[in-house]
Structure 1
Amino acid sequence: MSELIRSRRAWLGAHPVVADALVSAFLTVSCLIEAAFQKSYGDLPGKHPDVVCGVLMSVVVMSLTLRRRMPVPVMAFTLAGNVLLTALGYVPTLGAGLACLVALYTVASHRGLGTSLPVGVLALVVYVVSLAVQGRTFWQSVSNTVLFAGAWLIGRSLRLRRAYLDELEARARRLEQAREADSRAARAEERSRIARELHDVVAHHVSVMTVQAGAARRILHRDPESVQDALSTIEQMGRTALGEMRRLVGVLRTEAEPARSELSPQPGVGDVNGLVEQLRETGLQVQLWIEGESRSLSPGVDLAAFRLVQEALTNTLKHAGPQARAWVRIQYADRQLEIEVEDDGRGLVAGLGRPGGGGNGHGLMGMRERVALYGGDLRIGPRSGGGFEVRARFPLEVP
């Protein structure tokens, strides 16, 4: 039963004209019955309600059917109906007065202050004047003025409350949209970070594996022991790459998936020695200098510095040539961390500086993004005397 009532209320709310028509019809019938059985209107002068009065009153009250669609015209129509009844000499009728109050309430609740206030004042003046013409007393006029003011105030307060609720709903929608936009931006940033990590991991380890596989193929028949060492290095690099990829893919898993145990700490500057040793096993001659007093770095800067060295040495391995040498210098200064990676190979000729080459690829782009993220400076370009160089500076917080 309650569900049926709620559904009917919802339907009437979606069809306001039907709801207003039903209310108007009920008020009309009530006023006609009251006027038919009313034997006397006291000592007030004027004609008692008759058929003409009943018809006029019915038309005035039924005009409330359109009150929400045309509040001001309905207000004017009800006032005109009251003036006409007064001009015809009828005593005041309950239906016509009630129609004026409802129409005034509707104007105040559906129109702004610039419209509802002057309309309300004009309606009050016209109605009070009509009461005076009908011979009403001063206190009767005052009581009707209070009724008009009350109807206007109730309509105005309802409009303000509705506007307040609408603003709350709009603000909630804006906050929801902003939260969704922030969530999308966070997901996009996380995807970009994971893409950079995957590129760094895959590019480095696959490059080492490719070089080792090529060397093993060339000496397969001449030096089987060296081939075994190369295959061992390839296996180790493959396992390391799989572990790194498994760790990164684990970030994308839900909490319900048991991937937490597979996660390992992110690499940092302290792991550069191991990185250099891996590359030396491929035949690349790499020298490493760490200068200054080592200090604890923020996790982001620590990872960015390691990835920068890794990407620079990977590019050297891929593009510098078989006889190239590389130098890595990491210096801890008072307020910054300086990183220099140089080689004497032919990286620029091999494609790093040409459009479509590695210079515009994901690796160097990832370097720029990582350094810029922490407010650092990056210089990538040809080295004086031949080769290629990468120089970066990360600002450090002073304790």
Structure 2
Amino acid sequence: MAAIIVRTIFLSVLWGTYIYDSSQNSISMIVLMLICSLSFALFFITPVSRHRLFLYICQTLLLLISSLVSPEPLLAWCIFCYFHLEASIQLLPGTYRMFMYSGILFFGIEAFLFWDSYTPAVIPFFAMFFFMTWKVNEGSHDLKEQRNLYDQLLGEYRKLKRVLYVTERNSKAEERTRIAREIHDSVGHNLTALLMKIEMLSIQHGRSLFKEIKNLAADSLDETREAVKALKEGEIEGIQSVIQLIRKLESESAVMVELTTQQGVLSTRLSNKQNIAVYRCIQEGITNAMKHSSVKEVKVMLGKTALGHLHFKITNQLDDVRPFQMGFGLTNMKERVEELGGRLEIHQTDKEFILRGAFPVEEVATA
């Protein structure tokens, strides 16, 4: 935004000075003001147009016309140099060469019509100028290619990190399952056999003698079963796991996710079902943004309400506002949140699509 303002001010100064120098001739000044208006219209259209070469050539033609009606075309050449320098940054090398050829043609026509008013030093100056802009064009294009390559490598790096993360989690899950099986098959069976023998001895020698031992063995068996169950279910993770999943979505869908977390939410512990619910809601919000908006940006806010409930808000901009219908994705989201005892709200304004939900968080005791 700041760059556009600076460029606009600079171009305004050039055109203002050009028109002021031609103010002695009212007809020339009126024509230049009209050309200036057209030039600014093209200037603001060019960044969002797919036909930038055509618009830059139109700028050149406007400057050629202005030099025919102005007694002092020096400032027209300054504006010409400005547009060529800007085009060398904006256009691809092949496209810019075509524009550079049109600029050389423009210079040739000007030199032919007003040769008496130019000095011989003008030719080497513009030769150096065109050579410089050509090199600037090549350098800026190489820089953009390097930036794109960096973005691609960064995307591959993120995918590899995600694969490594998933592989590590799977390895941990397999190890937990293996340990759980070993505990169940060895310690669990031994404790069960011990309980049976204690029961037999208590029948033979009296229950009161072995009651305490039996209770201790039963408690040990229950604790072993709880440990096996915990190992099989895996770790109960919190918002950190949701953030990992958001990173995965961002790297795979080429959508920029702006994540905001409020105080206290990062330490919130969630069950696996709650993790999945939050993740699916964010995933659906990103899917909506990809379908209904050209601005690939989604804002996600995670926080806690005054009641201690987990609160989330997902926002994306809209290009074409249409009445939305509850499709399968939104219906599934609502059912997930309601199953957790929460509520999901869906709003659509003239500019944004908003998903807002909250559900109670059960405190998970840690051993």
| Higher Cα radius of gyration | 1
Relative to the length of structure 1, the TM-score reads 0.46
Relative to the length of structure 2, the TM-score reads 0.49
